[in-house]
Structure 1
Amino acid sequence: MGEGLSVRLRQDAPIPLDVTFSVAPGEAMALVGPSGSGKTTTLRAIAGLYRPAEGHIACNGTTWFDGAANANMPARQRRAGLVFQSYALFPHLTALANVMEALSDMPRAARRDAAMALLARLHLDGLEDRRPAQLSGGEQQRVAVARALARRPDVLLLDEPFSAVDRVTRRKLRRELVELRRDLPMPVVLVTHDLDDVTRLADRLCVMHRGRILQSGGVAEVMARPASAEVAELLDLADDDA
């Protein structure tokens, strides 16, 4: 096992899965497909929030899941930063406290400074004392990304990260994430239905349907040369949904 993320998942039910891919450090992989295609289930399996029937997940040489060996590392022990579609911020905590929650392995005295630095990195200076209800959708998304990065993850997982914001905010957040990615040496897995997210944020693309990967490869290659009429249709549908 080498550096980066490797994923192999297999099961017939309750959600069919037959997925194999790898993501190198500093590379972003987009999972695209209709609802029910297994994209979010795959992401949750990587994070340790879902246990597939069979397969193997490893990150930077450490096995996170091995169905054959009945090995399943708990989610809290996996160095995975997950940004949920709903952001899943603690509503009773401030932006600063939300980020500090993910720094529990650091000495208490150092947590505030580390969290403040992350908030500043995500352009949230001056908003640290606000609770989620006092923040815009875009600001909540930035707090969620800051919290994910606070775990100092080996992989960053993004589940439809821009679906809850308007188009203008989406474009701005997308640009900020592109800038942030330049400094992220980790693999990134992005679940999205928006092809603009794919073309601007991803290096590679997996087109999924009914739990299977129909085609994978470089973004430009897959979009220019779909392997089948089904892939072409799914990419058109993704674009229509955006």
Structure 2
Amino acid sequence: MADAGRHFTTTVPHLARTSQILMKAICALAARHLSGTSGYDSSLAERYHEECISLLIPALNDPNVTADETMLAALVILRLYEHLQFSDLFQGHHLLGTSAFVRSVMGNTVPDCSHGLQEASFWGYFRQCLYVACVNCEPLKFDISIYQIEMKLSTPCTATLPTTEEESKWCKWITWILAEVVEFCFGPQGPLMTLEEAQSSWRELVSKVDMWESNKPSSFQAIAFLDRDPEKHRLFPLRWFGNEWHGKDVLKRKVRILLRTY
């Protein structure tokens, strides 16, 4: 989501032709999905996963193997497999200690729209870390302090029809703001801050989400709305958006809930 180039749809299948690690990661995830939606043999997913891990772990530990976007994409796919496969909220499995590998590929700067699959893989991995932190109410297993990201939140998006690249940036900005809020709420620095420091940080985060909401592209607005109706077993309101990543607008609600709670 928020990948304007849809690289996991268009690029990854072609790279899998020449990468056994990537091919087995794809097969593991596909088999896991089929086993959960049909009578597909779940042991096949486990076999593909084990075969992929047996190739990936030595490669990650081999100083002669160059870390590249193909391995990073495989890592993202394998983490998604493990999220589906294991029920203990993803603690203690093979791929939790991989942030150093991500940093070796990415450096310290969050990639922009010119980085293709590398950028898509970074944000996929980042969202996985963020999801686990939110579910477990714990700090990110991802040090956001070492990364540099430029968010032009004070500059309104005035285009009537924004480009997909521009919309993608705004999606990533609200995702990053949510990560900052998670660190504020659950991170190790929280208990060490004075009351004045905590209040200042809280106000800064509120200001960021306010600017994001005020200046985001108008295309992020829902195009249709249906209110909740318990009598029709519709317990929550429904919203329809023009594009899948416009649904990222809901992240601002998560941000505000966390800031109000903590």
TM over 0.5: no
Q: Which has the larger radius of gyration?
A: 2
Q: Which structure: greater helix fraction?
A: 2
**Larger relative contact order, structure 1 or 2 (CA cutoff 8 Å, min sep 6):** 1
Q: TM-score, normalised by structure 2?
A: 0.31
Higher strand share: 1
TM-score by length of 1: 0.33
